[in-house]
C-alpha cells in the first residue's frame, strides 16, 4: 500500500473518532473536548440560522444539552487533502420524550499535524 493511501486511512480513522467524540460531547456538555477540538477561528451555523464563534459555542455547550440518546447515522467523511467534510444525520430524544432528528456538516482542517474543527452547520427537522 502506498504511503499516501495509508495516511488517508489513518486520517479517516482519526476523523471518525473525532466525530464520535463530538457527538458524545454535545450530549454530555463536555466543554473540555471542544476546547481541544475547535480551531481558534471556529464558526458554527445554528439551527435558527445564527452564526456563533468559538467562545459562544463553548458557552452554549457548557449548559446541559436537554436532549438524550444523541446518535449520528449515515456518517460520510470526505477527505480533501488537509481539509475534511463530515456529513451525517442525527436522531435524539427531546426533553418531552418525543423523537428529534437533524443533519449536520462539520469542516475539519489539519493544522500543525492535528485535525481541528473549523466550522459546523446544524439543521433540525
pLDDT tens, 80-120? 999 999 999 999 999 999 999 999 999 999 999 999 999 99
Q: What is the mean pLDDT of the chain?
A: 95
- Per-residue pLDDT for 2 more than 70? no
Q: How confident is the model at residue 8 (pLDDT cuts 50, 70, 90)?
A: confident
- Per-residue pLDDT for 4 more than 80? no
Which cell is 44 given?
458554527
Alpha helices in the chain (DSSP H): 3-28, 31-37, 54-62
- Per-residue pLDDT for 1 more than 60? no
- Answering whether pTM is above 0.75, one says yes
Distance of CA 36 to the CA centre of its chain: 13
**Domains, in order of start, for the chain:** 3-124 (3.10.450.50)
Amino acid at each position: 500500500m502506498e504511503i499516501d493511501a495509508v495516511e488517508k486511512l489513518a486520517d479517516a480513522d482519526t476523523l471518525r473518532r473525532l466525530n464520535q467524540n463530538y457527538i458524545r460531547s454535545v450530549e454530555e456538555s463536555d466543554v473540555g473536548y471542544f476546547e481541544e477540538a475547535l480551531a481558534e477561528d471556529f464558526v458554527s451555523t445554528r439551527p435558527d440560522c445564527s452564526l456563533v464563534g468559538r467562545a459562544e459555542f463553548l458557552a452554549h455547550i457548557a449548559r446541559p444539552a436537554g436532549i438524550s440518546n444523541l446518535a449520528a447515522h449515515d456518517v460520510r467523511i470526505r477527505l480533501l487533502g488537509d481539509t475534511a467534510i463530515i456529513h451525517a444525520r442525527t436522531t435524539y430524544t427531546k426533553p418531552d420524550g418525543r423523537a428529534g432528528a437533524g443533519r449536520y456538516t462539520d469542516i475539519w482542517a489539519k493544522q500543525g499535524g492535528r485535525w481541528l474543527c473549523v466550522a459546523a452547520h446544524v439543521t433540525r427537522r
